[in-house]
Amino acid sequence: MGDLFPRKLTVPAVRNQKPQKKERKEVTMKPSTKTLFALGCAYAITTASSFAQLVYTFDEYGNSSGPSSAPPISPGILQPDPSGGLTVPVLVYTVPLPLVTGDVVLTEPGQPAGGPNSDVVRFWNPTGINLTQIIFYS
């Protein structure tokens, strides 16, 4: 039969040894590195946004303009609705660029949210090629 009490386990003790702690070394950026990083991010953002934007203007009276370095937008022409939305003539602009198709509903300035709609602008690409029509319902 075995002993009622377990045997004592003896481990040689090492004196004057402190437990080892892992030291965490903090890494801090120098002010010049932080500045360079911030300027690099700002440069990347402004470069990306400046190359991605072409600004065209058009209104409900047939006036239009665009950047001289981009394909021109045509002046507005009254013609039958190419999208079939209305049976009466509508104002149509042509832009020689592919644009996302859809409708934009406009309200007059100063009207509360959800107030009466004043105009609808439809971006329409009937052919699927690099030609978009902007239809102005006023």
Beta strands in the chain, from DSSP E residues, in sequence order:
57-58, 64-65, 77-80, 89-95, 102-106, 119-124, 132-137
Instruction: Tell how far CA 17 is from the center of its chain.
Output: 60
Read off the pTM: 0.56
pLDDT tens digit at each of 138 positions of the chain: 555 555 555 555 555 555 566 666 665 555 555 565 665 656 555 544 455 577 888 888 888 888 887 778 888 999 999 888 888 999 999 888 888 889 998 888 887 777 788 888 899 988 777 788 888 887
Helix (H, G, I), strand (E, B) or coil at 111: coil
Dihedral class, residue 110 (left if φ above 0, else alpha if ψ from -120 to 50, else beta): left
